[in-house]
Chains A and B, each alone.
Chain A
Amino acid sequence: MAANAPVPGATDPAIIRNFCIIAHIDHGKSTLADRMLQITGIVDPRNMRAQYLDRMDIERERGITIKSQAVRLPFKAEDGETYVLNLIDTPGHVDFTYEVSRSLAACEGAILLVDAAQGIEAQTLANLYLALENDLTIIPVLNKIDLPAAQPEKYAAEIAHIIGCDPATVLKVSAKTGVGVEDLLNEVVKQIPAPVGDANAPARALIFDSVYDTYRGVVTYVRVVDGRIPTRDRIKMMSTGETHETLEVGVISPDPMPSKAIGVGEVGYLITGVKDVRQSRVGDTVTLVGNPAEESLGGYRDPVPMVFSGLFPMDGSDFPVLREALDKLKLNDAALVYEPESSVALGFGFRCGFLGLLHLEIVRERLEREFNLDLISTAPNVVYRVVMDDGKEFTVTNPSEFPGGKIAEVYEPVVRSTILTPSEFVGAIMELCQQRRGTMHGMDYLSEDRVEMRYTLPLAEIVFDFFDQLKSRTRGYASLDYEPTGEQSADLVKVDILLHGDPVDAFSSIVHRDKAYNYGVAMAAKLKELIPRQQFEVPIQAAIGARVIARETIRAIRKDVLAKCYGGDISRKRKLLEKQKEGKKRMKMVGRVEVPQEAFIAALSTEDSGAKAKEK
C-alpha cells in the first residue's frame, strides 16, 4: 500500500486519471489489470489471485468480464508526483454495449489493448469507435509481445491505420511478464487529461455499474462529475426520483475503503441498502436531495431485451426453484426480464428476455450452476412488431403468440454489424450475409490482408446460428460485432410444426417466407430422427397457417414383443418393462404422441449452439 496516498473525497482532480481498457476476450485485459495492481503496490504479489478483478466464477472460467469494477491505483510517476489512476474495467461483449458506453462515459481515456499475435477484433473495434465518439484519448498498446507468434510491426501498422496515429507511438507490452507496463502507466498520466468538473456545483455522479452483494445489498459504482457525494447524506436517482441514504461511500483499492466522501472527478462506490439493482440503474445520475442538480448527465436508457427464450425446468417440480432463482438473479441483473409461460410440450417455465445471446447463455449457466437446475431453453427469438390490417398492433416475444388473421406488416429488429476478417474470406462472408438478408454498407482494408465489412442484418438472422456459420466459413478467423439500429418491415411468417395434427408450441418459429420451406423440411426431418416410433403412424408437418409446406412420417412400430418369456426370463422381463414404463412417465405427450424430453432438447439445441460458440 502506497504511503501518503491522496485521500478519497479530498483529491485534487488535476492528479486524477480515469481510464479503461478496451480489449477483446483473451487479449490480456485482466492480466494487464493484475500487473497494474502489482506495480502500483496495492496488491501484495503473494496475495495475487490471477485476474483479481474478475469476481464471479463464470467470469474467471471463461476469461471474460461481465460486470465492471473500478479500482483506484495510487501511482508515483516519472515526474515524481503521485497520481490517482482509476481503472474502470469494461465488459467486453456485444450484448453489453450500453454498459460499455456508460463505463466509457466515466473515463477521459482508454487503453486500446490488442494481442500482438492476433490483431484487432470486431468487438474491440466497435468499442474503440464508441470511445472515439465519447472523445476519449486513446493509448494504443500491443500485448503479448513475448509470444513467438507476435507480429508487433504488422499490427502496430494496422492500429495506426485505424486510429490515425504513427505506428511508432504504439506501445508494446507483455502483461504476463510485466515488460512495458510501468511505461504504459506513465503514458496514462501524460496523455490522458485530468477530469474537469465543478467542485462547487450541485453534485452529479454517473452510475456506470451496480452490483448486488448478498451482505451489503446493491453496491453502486459512480464517477463524480460535479460536486461531491458524502456519506450519511440523502441522494436522489434523477431518472426515477427515488431517494436513499448513503450508508457508505468509498473507493476500491482493490478492496473497498470507506471514506467520508467521494469528490469531483473521482470514481468510487456508494451503498444505500437497496436490494435490487433496478433501484440503482446504470446510466442514471445521482444527485443530493439537499442541493439537487437541475439537469442529469444525460444518456440514460432503460435496458431493452433483444432476445427471448423460454426456460423450462427439465423436472416439472423444479418450477418454484426456477422462479426463486430468477428472482434472485434479477437483483443483480437489471436487464433480465421474465414472465411465467406454459408450453404444451415443455410444461411450466418462464419466457425470458435478454440483451443478447451471451446474456442468455450466462443467465442459463448461472441458473444451472448456482441453483442446481436442469433446464431446457427454446430456440432464441427476437421481438416482432405485428401490425394488423385493422391497425391493431402486437408485440410478439414468443412465436406461439404470433397472431393469425389479416396481417398488414411485420417489423423485425435490425442491427448494424461489423465483421473483421482476413481478406481471403471476404467472398464467403458476402455469401453468408446475402443468405441472411444482409445489406452491405462498406468495406475497408485495415491492412493488406485484413478487412472490415459493415452490414445491416436482421437480428433474427444473427440469433439463428450466424456466429457458428461465420466461424466455420472463416476457419474461426472472422470476428463479429453488432448493435441494434432499429427495425424493418419484412415478409415474415410463422412456421408451425405439427405432430399427428397437433402443433408443438416449442417448435414454432418466425422465419422469412423464402426460408420457411427449408426450415420446415429440416425440422421435420430432424424430428423424424429424434422421436421414437409409436404404435400408430405419426405424420410430422410443417405448416404456415393451414398450408402444409413439408411432411415426414414416422412409421408405426410393428413389433416390440420379446420372443422368449420362459421361467428364467420372467423377473428380468418384468423389471425391464417396469423400467420402460417409468421412462415413459418422463415422456411429454403431444396429443397422443409420446415424445422423450431428449428429443425436445436435441431438436432445440442445435439452434441454440450459436450462443455457446460465441464465447469460445
Chain B
Amino acid sequence: MTETTTRTLGAYVHIPFCASRCGYCDFNTYTAPELERDGTTVSPATYAERVIHEIQLTKTAMSTEVRTIDTVFFGGGTPTMLSAADLVRILSALREHFGLRVGAEVTTEANPDSVTREYLAELHAGGFTRISFGHQSSSTKVLHILERTHTPGRTWDAVRWAREVGFEHVSVDLIYGTPGETEDDLRATLDDVTRADVDHVSAYSLIVENGTRLAAQVKRGEVAQPSDDVAASRYVVIDEHLTAHGFTWYEVSNWATPGGECRHNIGYWHNDDWLGIGPGAHAHMRGTRSWNVKHPAAWAAHIDTGNLAIADSETLGPADIAHEDIMLRLRLREGLNLGLLSVKGIGQALLAVNEGLLVESEFAQGQAVLTDKGRLLADGLVARLWD
C-alpha cells in the first residue's frame, strides 16, 4: 500500500525518573528511593545504555521499515534527570538505526529546575529543536498544592536560555482548576506566559487520578474536589487570553503561534505511526498498538536478555480504527472529515451543529470542527458521532 509511506513515523522515548513525585501524578515514573526499594539497578546513570540497546533491538525487529523518523519526543517522568550527553546519545542511536529526516522535530520535556544554560546548549547542539517546560502555575500557593518543587520564576530563565542557545520552539505546560487556585492566580500565570518568548502552550485541567496522594487528600476532605464548572470557566479565560496574544488553539488542550504546533503530537491525533521506547511506552504501527512492560526493572530484564519488552498488543479492527479516528481528529482544530462518519453519525453531527457544538460553516464544507463550547464537550460528542 502506498499509504504506508505517507504516514509519518515518530519516536517516543520514556524517561521514568523524577527527583520527587508530585501529589497529583500517576505517570509511570520513579524516584531514586522508590527504585532502590524495588531492588533494581535501573537508574538515570545507567538508563541511556539500555535505551540504546532497545533501539537496536527494535530496528532489528523492524528490519523492513524504510521510513526515517520525522519527530522524536522525550517524555517522562523528567527526561532532564538524565545528563544532556545521555539524551543526545539516545537521539544519535535513533538517527543511526532509523535515520532522522531533515528538519525533524526533536522535543524533550524539561523541569525548569533541572536545566542550566549549558545543559540546554548541549541538547541543542546534539540535535534537539524543541523544549517543553513543566511550568504548571506561577502561583507558589498552587505549586505547593500540586507539590511541585520549582520556583515559578525559574521557568522564565530557562525559556530565555533555551532561546539564547538556539531552540526553535519553546513550550510551557500549565495545570488549571487546582483547588485553591483563583482566577487571578490563573491570569497572573497567563500574563507570565505571554510575556515570555514561547510559541506553544499546553493547558490541562487538574484530574484527580485514583491512587495518587491528591486522591487520598480529596477523599479525606483536605483538598476540595476540582470542579468541572470551574475548569470550564478557567478554560475560557485561557483561550481568550492566548487568542488575544497571537496564539491559536490547534487541539483541545494545545495552543501555538503560527508554525509552533507540535508535529509529534499531531502524529498521535492523525493516528500516524510511532515507536515506543522505554518502560511502559506505547507504540502504534499500521493499526497495531503495543506497549512495553511498565516497571523499569521488568523492562530492563527483557532488554538485558536481548528481547523486546513488549507486554501486550492489540490489533485494531475497522470499527476500532474508525472510533479512534473520530475520537482523535475531532480534538483538532482542522477537524474531522464528515466522510469518516456513518449516515447516523452525520445526523448526530447536524444535531450538534444545532446545539452549538460544531461550527456551521465548516459543517457546510464537510468538516466537523468544534466550537468554543464544543471543545469542552467533545467526549460526549465523540460517542454520539460513533453512531
Judging by beta carbons under 8 Å apart, are B327 and A574 in contact? yes
| CB of B222 closer than 8 Å to a CB of A | no
| CB of A47 closer than 8 Å to a CB of B | no
**Please, which residues of chain A bring their CB within 8 A of the CB of B357?**
535
- What 0/1 readout, one digit per residue, does chain B (276-315) give for beta carbons within 8 Å of chain A? 1000111110000101000000000000000000000010
Judging by beta carbons under 8 Å apart, are A565 and B228 in contact? no
- In angstroms, Cα B380 to Cα A577, docked, is 8
Q: Whole-angstrom distance from the CB of B65 to the nearest CB of chain A?
A: 18
| CB of A564 closer than 8 Å to a CB of B | yes
Q: Whole-angstrom distance from the CB of B344 to the nearest CB of chain A?
A: 13
Judging by beta carbons under 8 Å apart, are B327 and A564 in contact? no
Q: Whole-angstrom distance from the CB of B368 to the nearest CB of chain A?
A: 15
Stretch at the interface among A36-44, A156-164, A441-449, A552-560: A552-560
Given A559-B377, A563-B205, A567-B268, the answer on whether A573 and B284 have CB atoms closer than 8 Å is: no
- In angstroms, Cα B382 to Cα A570, docked, is 13
**Please, which residues of chain B bring their CB within 8 A of the CB of A557?**
228, 377, 380
Residue of A nearest to B265 (CB): A566
| CB of A578 closer than 8 Å to a CB of B | yes
| CB of A536 closer than 8 Å to a CB of B | yes
Q: Which residues of B (340-387) have their CB < 8 Å from a CB of A? A: 355, 357, 375-380, 382-383, 386
| CB of B328 closer than 8 Å to a CB of A | yes
- Checking B204, B276, B331, B375 against A567 with a beta-carbon cut-off of 8 angstroms, the contacting residue is B276
Judging by beta carbons under 8 Å apart, are B327 and A573 in contact? yes
- In angstroms, Cα B205 to Cα A567, docked, is 18
Judging by beta carbons under 8 Å apart, are A568 and B324 in contact? no
**Please, which residues of chain B bring their CB within 8 A of the CB of A566?**
265, 268
| CB of A561 closer than 8 Å to a CB of B | yes
Judging by beta carbons under 8 Å apart, are A577 and B327 in contact? yes
Q: Which residues of B (23-69) have their CB < 8 Å from a CB of A? A: none
Interface residues on A, range: 20 to 34
Q: Which residues of B (196-238) have their CB < 8 Å from a CB of A? A: 203-205, 207, 228-229, 231-233, 235
Given A535-B355, A577-B327, the answer on whether A568 and B291 have CB atoms closer than 8 Å is: yes
| CB of A55 closer than 8 Å to a CB of B | no
| CB of A580 closer than 8 Å to a CB of B | yes
Q: Whole-angstrom distance from the CB of A568 to the nearest CB of chain B?
A: 4
- Checking A559, A561, A570, A571 against B229 with a beta-carbon cut-off of 8 angstroms, the contacting residue is A559
- In angstroms, Cα B282 to Cα A570, docked, is 10
**Please, which residues of chain B bring their CB within 8 A of the CB of A190?**
none
Judging by beta carbons under 8 Å apart, are A561 and B378 in contact? yes
Judging by beta carbons under 8 Å apart, are A562 and B207 in contact? yes
Judging by beta carbons under 8 Å apart, are B376 and A570 in contact? no
Judging by beta carbons under 8 Å apart, are A563 and B228 in contact? no
Most buried by B among A561, A562, A577, A580: A561
Given A536-B355, A557-B377, the answer on whether A564 and B253 have CB atoms closer than 8 Å is: yes
Residue of B nearest to A565 (CB): B331
Interface residues on B, range: 35 or more
- Checking B233, B252, B280, B331 against A568 with a beta-carbon cut-off of 8 angstroms, the contacting residue is B280
Q: Which residues of A (204-249) have their CB < 8 Å from a CB of B? A: none
- In angstroms, Cα B113 to Cα A555, docked, is 42
- In angstroms, Cα B348 to Cα A584, docked, is 15
| CB of A62 closer than 8 Å to a CB of B | no
- In angstroms, Cα B357 to Cα A536, docked, is 11
- Checking A535, A573, A580, A584 against B377 with a beta-carbon cut-off of 8 angstroms, the contacting residue is A535
| CB of B274 closer than 8 Å to a CB of A | yes
Q: Whole-angstrom distance from the CB of B292 to the nearest CB of chain A?
A: 10
| CB of A301 closer than 8 Å to a CB of B | no
Judging by beta carbons under 8 Å apart, are B327 and A567 in contact? no
Q: Whole-angstrom distance from the CB of A133 to the nearest CB of chain B?
A: 62
| CB of A581 closer than 8 Å to a CB of B | yes
- In angstroms, Cα B384 to Cα A535, docked, is 12
**Please, which residues of chain A bring their CB within 8 A of the CB of B233?**
558
**Please, which residues of chain B bring their CB within 8 A of the CB of A578?**
323, 386
Judging by beta carbons under 8 Å apart, are B284 and A577 in contact? no
Judging by beta carbons under 8 Å apart, are A560 and B320 in contact? no
Judging by beta carbons under 8 Å apart, are B386 and A581 in contact? yes
**Please, which residues of chain B bring their CB within 8 A of the CB of A577?**
323, 327, 379, 382-383, 386
| CB of B249 closer than 8 Å to a CB of A | no
Residue of A nearest to B289 (CB): A571
**Please, which residues of chain B bring their CB within 8 A of the CB of A564?**
204, 207, 253
Q: Whole-angstrom distance from the CB of B208 to the nearest CB of chain A?
A: 13
**Please, which residues of chain B bring their CB within 8 A of the CB of A580?**
383
**Please, which residues of chain A bring their CB within 8 A of the CB of B382?**
577
Q: Whole-angstrom distance from the CB of B251 to the nearest CB of chain A?
A: 8
- Checking A536, A563, A570 against B268 with a beta-carbon cut-off of 8 angstroms, the contacting residue is A570
- In angstroms, Cα B376 to Cα A362, docked, is 49
- In angstroms, Cα B90 to Cα A8, docked, is 101
| CB of B74 closer than 8 Å to a CB of A | no
Judging by beta carbons under 8 Å apart, are A560 and B282 in contact? no
Judging by beta carbons under 8 Å apart, are B327 and A563 in contact? no
- What 0/1 readout, one digit per residue, does chain B (54-88) give for beta carbons within 8 Å of chain A? 00000000000000000000000000000000000
- In angstroms, Cα B386 to Cα A574, docked, is 11
| CB of B12 closer than 8 Å to a CB of A | yes
Q: With contacts A536-B355, A558-B233, A562-B379 known, what are 7 further pairs, Cβ within 8 A?
A: A561-B376, A563-B252, A565-B331, A568-B276, A570-B282, A577-B382, A577-B386
Interchain residue pairs with CB less than 8 A apart (26): A535-B355, A535-B357, A557-B377, A558-B228, A558-B376, A559-B229, A560-B376, A562-B207, A562-B379, A563-B204, A563-B205, A564-B207, A565-B268, A565-B327, A565-B331, A566-B268, A567-B12, A567-B274, A568-B276, A568-B280, A568-B282, A570-B289, A574-B324, A574-B327, A577-B383, A581-B386
Q: Give B residues with C-beta under 8 Å from A.
A: 12, 203-205, 207, 228-229, 231-233, 235, 252-253, 265, 268-269, 274, 276, 280-284, 289, 291, 314, 320, 323-324, 327-328, 331, 355, 357, 375-380, 382-383, 386
